[in-house]
């Protein structure tokens, strides 16, 4: 089929605005081998401990099928004051090289409106102290927040928070004194 005959994908929601494109990088050093960091992505029980959408744990959902062609989905309800937002995340894994690289695409929705789509490459390399994770995210922002000025910074900041969570899961001894446990 030639490109001229391809049907345009229709989306529900507000009228289409010009898409915003960008790329950001985040490097994170770990004091454990690449295999341990990779496990944090691949094993559902570990992944659930650091990957989640904002909102209470009682309303969160998460499924992971970690294989090429598989995907991940997550959802939650985020409440701020008297405003409630339904958050959804769906991804598909395109390339997985154990202990080395993960490439996937994902889409993020707020209240049923697709807000942005990203292509993410996670690379793990050896480092004298353990390993280095390099996160490269190429995003297309479809529906900005307000004028969109802060959307990319929000996305980059959220990624850093997620990777900090990954650190606490794969480097638990390093963070033992920093983790607060509720009183028994």
Short-list 135, 105, 100, CA closest to 121: 135
Helix (H, G, I), strand (E, B) or coil at 67: coil
Residue 5 falls inside a structural domain: no
Q: Is 73 contained in some domain?
A: no
Residue with tokens 């980059």: 156
Q: Cα(52)–Cα(22) distance, rounded to whole angstroms?
A: 23
- Could you tell me if 100 and 123 are in contact, meaning their C-beta atoms sit under 8 angstroms apart? yes
Q: Per the structure block, which two tokens stand in for 155?
A: 């996305």
Residue 27 lies in a domain: yes
pLDDT of residue 81: 85
* Residue 128, in any domain of the structure: yes
Please give the tally of structural domains in the chain: 1
Residue 167: inside a domain: yes
Q: Exposure of 1 by Cβ count < 10 A (0-12 exposed, 13-18 middle, 19+ buried)? A: exposed
> Tell me, what CATH number does 158's domain have?
3.30.530.20
Q: Name the DSSP class of 89.
A: E
Domain housing 137:
16-52+92-171
| Helices 34-42 and 151-170: angle between axes, nearest 10 degrees | 110
Q: What is the pLDDT along the chain (184 residues), one digit of tens a residue?
A: 444 433 445 555 556 678 899 999 999 999 999 999 999 999 999 999 999 898 888 889 999 999 999 999 999 999 988 899 999 999 999 999 999 999 999 999 999 999 999 999 999 999 999 999 999 999 999 998 877 788 999 999 999 999 999 999 998 776 544 444 444 3
Written as six digits, the tokens of 158 are 């959220």
Domain presence at residue 66:
no
């Amino acid at each position: 089929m030639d490109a001229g005959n391809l049907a345009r994908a229709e989306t529900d929601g507000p009228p289409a605005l010009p898409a915003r494109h960008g790329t950001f990088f985040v490097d994170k050093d770990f004091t454990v081998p690449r295999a341990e960091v990779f496990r944090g992505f691949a094993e559902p029980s570990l992944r659930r401990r650091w990957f989640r959408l904002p909102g209470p744990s009682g309303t969160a959902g998460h499924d992971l099928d970690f294989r090429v062609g598989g995907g991940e989905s997550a959802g939650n309800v985020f409440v701020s004051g008297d405003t409630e937002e339904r958050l959804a995340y769906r991804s598909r894994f395109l390339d997985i090289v154990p202990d080395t690289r993960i490439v996937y695409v994902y889409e993020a929705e707020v209240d049923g409106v697709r807000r942005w789509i990203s292509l993410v490459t996670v690379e793990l390399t050896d480092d004298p102290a353990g390993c280095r994770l390099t996160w490269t995210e190429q995003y297309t922002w479809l529906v900005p927040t307000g004028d969109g000025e802060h959307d990319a910074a929000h996305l980059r900041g959220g990624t850093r928070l997620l990777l900090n969570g990954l650190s606490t899961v794969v480097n638990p001894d390093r963070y033992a004194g920093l983790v607060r446990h509720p009183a028994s």
